Amino acid sequence: MRRAPNPKVPTPRVIVTRELADTVMERMEQLFDTTNNRGDVPMDRARLAGAMADCDVFVPTVTDTIDAALIEGAGARLKLIANFGAGVNHIDLKAARARGIVVTNTPGVLTEDTADITMALILSVPRRLGEGEKLVRDGAWKGWAPSGMLGHRIGGKALGIAGMGRIGRAVARRARAFGLSIHYHNRHRLPETVEAEFGATWHDTLDGLLQATDILTIHTPRNADSENMIDARRLALMRPTACIINTARGGIVDEDALIEALENGRLAGAGLDVWKFEPEIDPRLLALPNVMMIPHMGSATYEGRMAMGEKVIANIRMWADGHRPPDQVLEGWV
Ligand code: 8YV
């Protein structure tokens, strides 16, 4: 049932690009004049442009590239892009700002799930979980042997966290329980009390962090500053026994340089949830046994997706009622 029209607050017209949880779609239909994408039919560029010409609020996801041309071509009525997801690198924020379009995201509700998947990769790569699973699945396991499937111990190693925001800290909390020592690099040093909570050592440069690290995990947003942040030069600073975990965004690690380092034994392994050209995976990575690969599933829980939907709804409602939405993406991202 749609909410009773209030002449003072016109019901916003909302278009959602992907199929969300049933309860989220139903609630959106009750509250707003919503077109959901039931059936999840992919929206190509022409359909995205058509949708953006015809709504007040547009709800994309990471799979929609909302570039400057699309934003400039949007209808004058488009005033809010309420992204379903925390990362907003697929939206041209400068173009949105220039058009006076507010952008919101869904932070906070996917922190713990993403940290869990990160921790799973941190454990999987040194302990060769992917290789072990493949051995069993392929029927190639010949039985226990003293030297069978040896990996490296997790406890006592140094975890390097690049980006100590919400997710970085949630990873640190978990990693401590596994006996990892916590090292981090962040634009701003954390208060001493927070460092003490994690027993964390701050490195004032990313280069310094890389040199001190056995397992590097990346938790920075993808923006102009972080593009190819881990490039060939930085990879060369890392220990050959080290590995990299990336559950943030593909373009932060230079994929070609990473592959080269792995192929040449200059890096011991990688655990990847995100990719430069999702869903395409470079075939050279597929050939590397020391790479654990998963399909951008860091936040993929039923609970998380519900909470993300609720955040999108809350942002739209606040905006529609004339308030600043709680998760407005601010200048720092641009
Ligand atoms: C989301 C993510 O599922 O929120 C993010 O930034 O990377 C994912 O976990 C995706 O972005 C949904 O749009």
Note the pTM of the prediction, 2 decimals: 0.94
Q: Residue 330: pLDDT band by 50, 70, 90 thresholds? A: confident
pLDDT (tens digit per residue) in 75-122 = 999 999 999 999 999 999 999 999 999 999 999 999 999 999 999 999
296 is catalytic: yes
Q: Which residues contact 131 (CB under 8 A, 6 or more apart)?
A: 149, 289, 290
Q: Residue 10: pLDDT band by 50, 70, 90 thresholds? A: confident
Choice among 185, 219, 222, 249 that is catalytic: 249
CA distances from 329 to 90, 92, 213 (A): 13, 12, 32
90 is catalytic: no
Residue 272 C-alpha to ligand 1 middle, in angstroms?
15
CA 36/CA 8 separation, integer angstroms = 25
Pocket test for ligand 1, best of 62, 106, 111, 312 (most atoms within 8 A of CB): 62
pLDDT (tens digit per residue) in 259-303 = 999 999 999 999 999 999 999 999 999 999 999 999 999 999 999
Cross-sheet strand order for the sheet of 291-293: 201-202, 181-185, 158-162, 215-218, 243-246, 269-272, 291-293
Q: Which amino acid residue places its CA nearest to atom 1 of ligand 1?
A: 85
Q: Residue 195: pLDDT band by 50, 70, 90 thresholds? A: very high
249 is catalytic: yes
Atom of ligand 1 nearest to the CA of 84: 13
What's the average model confidence in pLDDT over 49-72? 98
Which pLDDT value is given to residue 334?
A: 43
The token pair that represents 324 in the structure block: 């600043």
Residue 299 C-alpha to ligand 1 middle, in angstroms?
7
Question: Is 7 a residue whose pLDDT tops 90?
Answer: no
Choice among 2, 278, 303, 324 that is catalytic: 278
Other C-beta atoms closer than 10 Å to the C-beta of 325 total 22
Q: Residue 332: pLDDT band by 50, 70, 90 thresholds? A: low
Would the CA dihedral through 114, 116, 122, 124 be positive or negative?
negative
Atom of ligand 1 nearest to the CA of 88: 6
Which pLDDT value is given to residue 9?
A: 60
Do 81 and 91 touch, CB atoms closer than 8 A? yes
Which pLDDT value is given to residue 331?
A: 65
Atom of ligand 1 nearest to the CA of 248: 7
What's the average model confidence in pLDDT over 222-245? 97
CA 312/CA 59 separation, integer angstroms = 8
Whose tokens are 């990336």? That residue is 246
Choice among 296, 305, 317, 323 that is catalytic: 296
What's the average model confidence in pLDDT over 59-83? 97
* Residues at CB less than 6 angstroms from ligand 1: 61-62, 84-87, 110, 298-299
The token pair that represents 246 in the structure block: 């990336």
